[in-house]
């Protein structure tokens, strides 16, 4: 990702805005204007993308809408069904006249067809009943899938946001780091509050300059002190000096902690030392507001 390019003392706002828009395009892929976003919103695209839009009450919906399906009417059709009657005399007459009927046309295929149809109807009803039971299962399955899709959708959304956040933080830190580096690079060197003593001709190096092969890294500070011309510490005080140096380093690091401001410094201490510390910190590129008036800034 490119950094903001500032090449002159005077900057052009429109040029910066073009850079910002380019950066946004780079980050988002597409640069929609507010108007275009409004247009998209009108299409209700979110209804399709938002996992919250998936219906998760399919089973309830199905059960509510499912009709109470009673068995459809059917009939039993046998060979003698067309002659059947509860009146005995009539049944006898039909049987007597049956040969005459068969002389005119053959009712047997009709009876067989209706018999088969009756069986088909019964079979169809059975299959329909089984299908309805399967539908319930399918709806249960769809419901579970919808729930899973919803969960996954939310999880993906969260992960995306997290990734975006991490990416932004990293980008932010990187750019802040570069900005601070550039400030440090181009600032004229400023004198420290307590400048180190001017270098002076060193006396012949003491024998401690060459560390003994068995010397441990902890003895390094003592050696450097000896190089500066100071008296090497006694073995008993060596660890104490090392501890002091470590504490000083820690204090310096605390002073340079990002986000800490003059207000912190003043909150902790007051008077000239705090200002001196802040001046140091500003010289190192830290954030600080000037307390000078408009004409003095």
Count of CB atoms situated within 10 Å of the CB of 9: 5
80/226 Cα distance (integer angstroms): 128
Q: Does 23 bind another protein (CB under 8 A)?
A: yes
Size of the site for another protein (CB under 8 A): 55
Please give the full DSSP string across 27-76, using - where no structure is assigned.
HHSS---HHHHHHHHHTTHHHHH-GGGS---HHHHHHHH----PPPP---
User: Is 28 one of the binding residues for another protein (CB under 8 A)?
Assistant: yes
Q: Near another protein by CB under 8 A, which window of 29-37, 100-108, 135-143, 228-236?
A: 29-37
Candidates 3, 112, 140, 228: give the one binding another protein (CB under 8 A): 3
**Nearer to another protein among residue 15 and residue 209 (C-beta):** 15
Q: Closest by alpha carbon to 284, among 250, 264, 265, 258?
A: 258
293 binds another protein (CB under 8 A): yes
Q: Which residue has the tokens 């993906």?
A: 156
Rounded Cα gap, residues 289 and 282, in angstroms? 9
Nearer to another protein, 232 or 285 (CB): 285
- Contact segment (CB under 8 A) with another protein among 5-13, 112-120, 205-213, 216-224 equals 5-13
Long-range CB contacts (within 8 A, 24+) of 157-163: 157/51
Distance CA(246)–CA(253), nearest Å, equals 11
Q: Is 267 in the site for another protein (CB under 8 A)?
A: yes
Q: Give yes or no for residue 288 binding another protein (CB under 8 A).
A: yes
Among 18, 20, 112, 174, binds another protein (CB under 8 A): 20
What 3-state DSSP class applies to 240? Answer: helix
Tell which one of 94, 115, 157, 287 touches another protein (CB under 8 A). Answer: 287
Longest dimension (CA), the chain: 150
Residue from 264, 279, 280, 283 binding another protein (CB under 8 A) = 264
* Binders of another protein in range 153-212 (CB under 8 A): 164-165, 168-169, 172-173, 175-176, 179-180, 182-183
Q: Write the interaction track for another protein spanning residues 45-84; mark x where CB under 8 A is met and - where it is not.
A: ----------------------------------------
**CA 88, CA 92: separation in Å to the nearest integer?**
6
Q: Does 261 bind another protein (CB under 8 A)?
A: yes
Query: Which CB sits closer to another protein, 27 or 95?
Result: 27
**How is residue 17 annotated by DSSP?**
H
DSSP per position, 94-149:
HHHHHHHHHHH---HHHHHHHHHHHHHHHHHHHHHHHHHHHHHHHHHHHHHHHHHH
Residues within the interface to another protein (CB under 8 A): 3-4, 6, 9-14, 16-17, 20-21, 23-24, 27-28, 32-34, 37, 164-165, 168-169, 172-173, 175-176, 179-180, 182-183, 258-264, 266-267, 285-297
């Amino acid at each position: 990702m490119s950094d903001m390019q500032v090449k002159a003392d005077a900057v052009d706002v429109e040029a910066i805005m073009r850079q910002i828009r380019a950066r946004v395009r780079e980050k988002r892929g597409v640069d929609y204007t507010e108007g275009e976003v409004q247009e998209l919103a009108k299409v209700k695209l979110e209804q399709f993308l938002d996992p919250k839009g998936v219906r998760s009450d399919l089973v309830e919906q199905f059960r509510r809408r499912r009709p109470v399906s009673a068995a459809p009417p059917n009939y039993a059709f046998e060979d003698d069904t067309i002659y059947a009657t509860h009146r005995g005399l009539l049944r006898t007459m039909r049987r007597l006249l049956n040969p005459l009927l068969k002389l005119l046309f053959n009712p047997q295929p009709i009876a067989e067809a209706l018999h088969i149809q009756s069986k088909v109807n019964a079979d169809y009803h059975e299959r329909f009943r089984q299908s309805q039971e399967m539908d319930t299962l399918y709806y249960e399955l769809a419901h579970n899938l919808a729930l899973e899709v919803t969960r996954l959708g939310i999880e993906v959304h969260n992960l995306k946001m997290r990734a975006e956040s991490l990416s932004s933080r990293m980008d932010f830190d990187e750019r802040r780091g570069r900005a601070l580096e550039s400030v440090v690079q181009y600032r004229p060197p400023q004198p420290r509050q307590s400048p180190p003593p001017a270098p002076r001709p060193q006396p012949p190096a003491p024998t401690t300059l060459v560390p003994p092969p068995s010397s441990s890294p902890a003895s390094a500070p003592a050696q450097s002190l000896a190089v500066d011309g100071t008296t090497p510490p006694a073995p008993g005080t060596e660890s104490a000096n090392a501890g002091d140096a470590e504490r000083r380093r820690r204090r310096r690091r605390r002073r340079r902690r990002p986000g800490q401001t003059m207000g912190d410094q003043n909150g902790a201490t007051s008077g000239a030392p705090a200002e001196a510390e802040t001046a140091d910190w500003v010289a190192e590129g830290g954030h600080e507001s000037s307390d000078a008036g408009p004409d003095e800034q």
